[in-house]
Structure 1
Amino acid sequence: MTTEPVPAKSGTRLTALDGLRGIAAAGVAFLYHPLLELDPAVMAKAPAPIVWLRDWGWSFVDLFFLISGFIFAHVYLRERRLDRAGLADFAVARIARLYPLHLLTFAICVVLFLGAPENTWYAFFAHLFMMQAFVEPLGHTFNGPSWSISVELACYTLFALGAVSGERTLRWVTAAAILVPVGYLVFFASAGGPWIADCIPRGPLGFFLGQVLWRCRERIACVPAIVLVALMATGLLLEMGRFSPLLPLCLLAWPAALCLSLRIPALASRPLLWLGDRSYSIYLVHFPLLLVCIPTIESTTSGLTASAMLLAFAAVVLVLGDLAYRRLEVPSRRAIRGLWQRRRKVVAQGAVAA
């Protein structure tokens, strides 16, 4: 950890957040989801951190939302890079980033799991159009974890519409996108989790809170690291009783973790950057593989065997995630953006000729 706070500067790649995103993806894909399937007798002997990951690893998704909001503010709000003329470019960039891999993993899930009773025709079309967060049972149709992708896409849309309408409008949108979910979590959400009803509010809360952190980045950079560590520990350990645990996690633990990560050079190391680049692939690829492996995982009764199995599962996901990233994510992103730029050029030339 650096000795002096370093604010995130506009125009620079936030490599530490890429590393943090990779860690969050690994927590969900390699630990949380597989641990849920282990024999309770095996988990009873597991160390406390492993049990915590089994019980609370789902909240890494909220860290994803927070990181996305911070990065979007860093990229698009500096020097007002997003305006009405750039909305189409923004939309194409988001589609190029998210849809190709989502479509591939969805197609694989259709082939493998179409016969499952929860995979209805309306769930099929919801996934096809990236609206899967709005069909029941949420998180249990086709590629379950992809619900968060459709919520994030909705956040992108809300952010873009607010940004092109002006700074004042975006601030009002940001305030509403934070206060309404907080109000829901205070008055309507239940203890424990994860709960299906909480999934949609989590996206805007984290995404737009990330933008607030970006706006306050210079002030936050002056906060001593020990204070951020204390806030993160409080958010992780605070017992909320009848209230939702998302309140301390989303409002204390993960914001403090994000701010701390900007001061930790190790998060920008080559291995973690490699992992961060592939975080989206890992997140979408792991679940279909996990569904295939569930019978083997559930039959595991030895802690040593379970550890070896989890390592093997992680290794296979890393290989598949790397292939998906290099062979699909990057080439399709470039191809879609290239086609869009060529189309714009043709249209511009036609307008000039006319």
Structure 2
Amino acid sequence: MSSSTSRTPLIDMIKGMACATIVWHHLAFYGPMSDIAHPLAPSLIAWLYDYGRMAVQVFLVLGGYLAAASLAPQGFARFDHAGTAIAKRFVRLVVPYAVALMLAVVVAALVRPWMEHHSVPDQPTLSQLLANALLLQDIVGEGALSAGVWYVAIDFQLFALTVLMLAGVRALPVRWVQHHAAALSQGLVLLVTAASLWVFNRIAGLDMWALYFFGAYGLGMLAYWAVRAPQAQAWVCLMVLLVGAALAVDFRARIAVAAVTALCLVVAMRSARMRSFSGVSPLVKLGQMSYSVFLVHFAVCLLVNAVVSHLWPASPALNAVGMLLAFGLSLAAGRLLYLRVERHVPSWSTALRWQLGLVGAGMLVVITSNWA
């Protein structure tokens, strides 16, 4: 099977559904519109609040699947230089990320004086701005400037760790290793996936590091290699054994969701009919711009929350309409960010400019607030 199986309308459609679920999870989680609208659909809002976050596992698995497709479709590293691959990934992530965080900082400053709610971020500090710009906020103990930005940092860590693992196998000076690079690389991914599922993912204090999440990411990589294999049974058995042992030791619903996602990917992507499925067009388009929607939706939802809950603080119906409006505007803002920023190939100078813009905008907000 060709590497074209790595990206199909089906993959984008799955990403679109996961993205929509995350946006609705945050709408239910952060309020206050969801608090006011809760009586209208208590079960639905409670489900989104408690379980909507599970869609992150879908993104982790898909991230691993697509990483295997781009970095090691045959099982061994196909990129030239590890540093270059990591740097390109960082730049592609942080340019739309910095733009979205600038918007979040400005919106938070606008609504902070007249909306007292835990969902409104505190006034940023210089160290917080720098940490967020460099994807280090959780590692150095600084607060996030927007919801979900932890995932961007983890995605970058996972990608970098994968690149270094694959490059490390390739760099081994033994000739025998070079002839078995694919098996050794895949074996290393399998080993680290097992270590994550069985050990690291059970330690909550490690949730700012890639090893905590590599279980789901690694399952995605294994799923890709299973799709490309002449026979998938061995790969599927390995995945089932890995996850079965992990859940027997410590059942975690998030790992079960990741496993089901990975195994369903194998079944679907080995089917010619499913690979040729054109998908549901709105979901496919949402999947293509899901990263931009994920980045920008918090600022949009925060602004709509502030306006609607301020004007109609006691109307469940109007606040429910406000939630729908926030979702629709999030998609519109995400599409704009995707078309104007994410879709263009960025450079280091572009990334630096937007990161400096984020820090500058944050400090301007602080100075303006202090003067006021």
Query: TM-score range with shorter-chain normalisation?
Result: 0.7 to 0.9
Matched with 2:262 is 255
Residue 104 to residue 317, structure 1, CA distance change in 2 (3 Å): same
Are positions 1:275 and 2:268 aligned together?
A: no
Matched with 1:25 is 19
Alignment match of 1:175 (pick from 190, 202, 211): 190
Deviation for aligned residue 1:67: 0.3
State the Cα deviation string for residues 135-164 of structure 1 (Å, max 9, x = none). Answer: 436xx5202311111111111111111222
Moved more, 102-111 or 242-251: 242-251
State the Cα deviation string for residues 96-154 of structure 1 (Å, max 9, x = none). Answer: 421210111122334444795484443322211122342436xx520231111111111
Deviation for aligned residue 1:28: 0.6
State the Cα deviation string for residues 35-94 of structure 1 (Å, max 9, x = none). Answer: 122455743552745532221111111111100111121233224684463435423431
Moved over 6 A (4+): 219-223
Alignment match of 1:15 (pick from 2, 9, 34): 9
Letter of the 1:183 counterpart: W
Matched with 2:71 is 76
Q: Normalized against structure 2, the TM-score is what?
A: 0.69
Map 1:106-255 to 2 at 5 A: 106-113=101-108, 116-117=121-122, 119-136=124-141, 141-164=144-167, 165-166=169-170, 167-184=182-199, 187-189=202-204, 198=207, 200=209, 201-217=211-227, 243-252=251-260, 254-255=261-262
Contact 2:91 2:348 (C-alpha < 8 Å) held by counterparts? yes
Letter of the 1:284 counterpart: L
Letter of the 2:159 counterpart: Y
SS of 1:78's partner is: coil
Across the two proteins, how many residue pairs are aligned to each other?
308
Residue 188 to residue 93, structure 1, CA distance change in 2 (3 Å): closer
Query: Which structure 2 residue ranges, 5 or more long, are not aligned?
Result: 113-120, 171-181, 234-239, 351-372
Question: Take 2:49 and 2:188, find their aligned partners in 1: how far apart are those partners?
Answer: 34
Contact 2:8 2:275 (C-alpha < 8 Å) held by counterparts? no
Q: Normalized against structure 1, the TM-score is what?
A: 0.72
Residue 151 to residue 45, structure 1, CA distance change in 2 (3 Å): same
Matched with 2:353 is none
Moved more, 40-49 or 174-183: 40-49
Letter of the 1:255 counterpart: A
Q: CA RMSD in A?
A: 3.8
SS of 2:4's partner is: coil
Matched with 1:292 is 303
SS of 1:134's partner is: coil
